[in-house]
Amino acid sequence: MNGAVASSVTRDARAALSIATEAPLGLRIAATTRSVSITKRIRMRYLITGDVSSTGEPMPGSVAEIFDFIVTGAGSAGCVVASRLSESSRHRVLLLEAGPRDRNPWIHIPLGYAKTYVSSTVNWRFETEPQPQLGNRRLYLPRGKTLGGSSSINGMVYIRGNHADYDEWRQRGCEGWDWDSVLPFFKKAENQTRGADEFHGVGGPLHVSNQPGRFGLADAVLEACV
Ligand SMILES: Cc1cc2nc3c(=O)[nH]c(=O)nc-3n(C[C@H](O)[C@H](O)[C@H](O)COP(=O)(O)OP(=O)(O)OC[C@H]3O[C@@H](n4cnc5c(N)ncnc54)[C@H](O)[C@@H]3O)c2cc1C
């Protein structure tokens, strides 16, 4: 990837963000905890580390780098966007992540989900506002805070949205998001071990397989649902 990942030190990412938003370089940095945001300015100047003068110029000894794209948040969406933007090698891409590198071993062990679900190092551990319908209880809202974002702490269940939801988006004016339009992209992204068919694809970056074990109760629930 022809880019840079500023992830290892949260402080660096925060410093970079604050410098960029303050610097009079016409940069627009939109950070979000929910999804990815991309800032594009052809040949924009972006400071990775170091101090800026009152005019926004790098101070002696600081490092200035040039990027074509800045992607904020190295989660599911941000990693894909940064990867796709940089794969041609024509663009320099900076991918910023507020959390640490994904070195926590529990990220790489499927059952580690139980650990990362409550970890404060790789999980923002958000809470909802008090919910009036639930006696004003706040609900726990885990979100990933590491390279890979929530996909580094998720349950690894491959699931797509309901067809009708995509079609409704289209009906509400979101052209290109109806089920027939998004299905080819689901298939393109997938490497389904059962092989390709009308709904599934092979050769994509997302490896998908059936559960290796069978559970009578789960089979009965599925049978009752269809
Ligand atoms: C516990 C859990 C279990 C789940 N299980 C499943 C499942 O089994 N199957 C499934 O399909 N989906 C599951 N999901 C949902 C799925 O993982 C998410 O919908 C998806 O990862 C969201 O992708 P995203 O790119 O929108 O955000 P995220 O992947 O959450 O990425 C956002 C990234 O931005 C970073 N960030 C935030 N603010 C800043 C900032 N200011 N500067 C820099 N970086 C910042 C965050 O640290 C994070 O890394 C689960 C989610 C959770 C939390």
Instruction: Give the span between the Cα atoms of 127 and 138, in whole angstroms.
Output: 6
List CB contacts of 120: < 8 A, sequence separation 6 or more.
Answer: none
Q: How far does the centroid of ligand 1 lie from the alpha carbon of residue 35, in Å?
A: 7
- Please provide the average confidence, as pLDDT, over all residues in the chain: 80
Q: Tell the residue nearest (CA) to atom 38 of ligand 1.
A: 33
Confidence band for 5, pLDDT divided at 50, 70 and 90: very low
Asked whether 42 and 68 are in contact (CB, 8 A), the reply is yes
Model pLDDT for residues 42-92, shown as the tens digit of each residue: 444 444 444 566 776 666 666 667 788 999 999 999 999 999 999 999 998
Tokens (6 digits) for 31: 């950070």
Residue 194 contacts residue 210 (beta carbons within 8 Å): yes
Question: What pTM did the predictor assign?
Answer: 0.76
Structure-token pair, residue 164? 């009708």
Q: Give pLDDT, residue 111.
A: 86
Write the CB contacts of 107 (distance below 8 Å, at least 6 apart in sequence). 116, 122, 146, 148, 152, 153
Architecture per CATH, 160-226: Orthogonal Bundle (1.10)
Cα(80) to ligand 1 centroid in Å equals 13
Residue 25 Cα to ligand 1 middle (Å): 30
Nearest to 146 by CA among 93, 94, 107: 107
| Ligand 1 centroid to residue 62 C-alpha, Å | 33
Evaluate if residue 193 carries a pLDDT over 80: yes
In this prediction, residues 208-221 reach a mean pLDDT of 91
Residues ≥6 apart with Cβ < 8 Å to 88: none
In the predicted model, what is the mean pLDDT of residues 96-113?
A: 94
Pocket test for ligand 1, best of 154, 158, 207, 211 (most atoms within 8 A of CB): 154
Report the C-alpha gap between 194 and 200 in whole angstroms: 9
Query: Which residues are paired to 64 by β-bridges?
Result: 47
> Residues 113-127, buried b or exposed e (16+ Cβ, 10 A)?
eebbeebeebbbeee
Take atom 36 of ligand 1 and give the residue whose Cα is closest: 73
Phi–psi pair at 211, nearest 5 degrees: -60, 130
Does the C-beta of 98 come closer than 6 Å to ligand 1? yes
What are the residue ranges spanned by the domains of the chain?
Answer: 3-96, 104-156, 160-226
Q: Is the CB of 58 within 6 Å of ligand 1? A: no
Task: Check pocket membership of 99 for ligand 1, CB cut-off 6 A.
Answer: yes
Residue 201 identity: G
Residue 220 has a pLDDT of 96
Minimum CA distance residue for ligand 1 atom 1? 154
167 contact partners, CB below 8 Å, separation of at least 6:
178, 179
CA of 107 to the centre of ligand 1 (A): 13
C-beta 102 within 6 A of ligand 1:
no
Which ligand 1 atom lies nearest to the CA of residue 159?
11
Token digits for 74? Answer: 């190295």
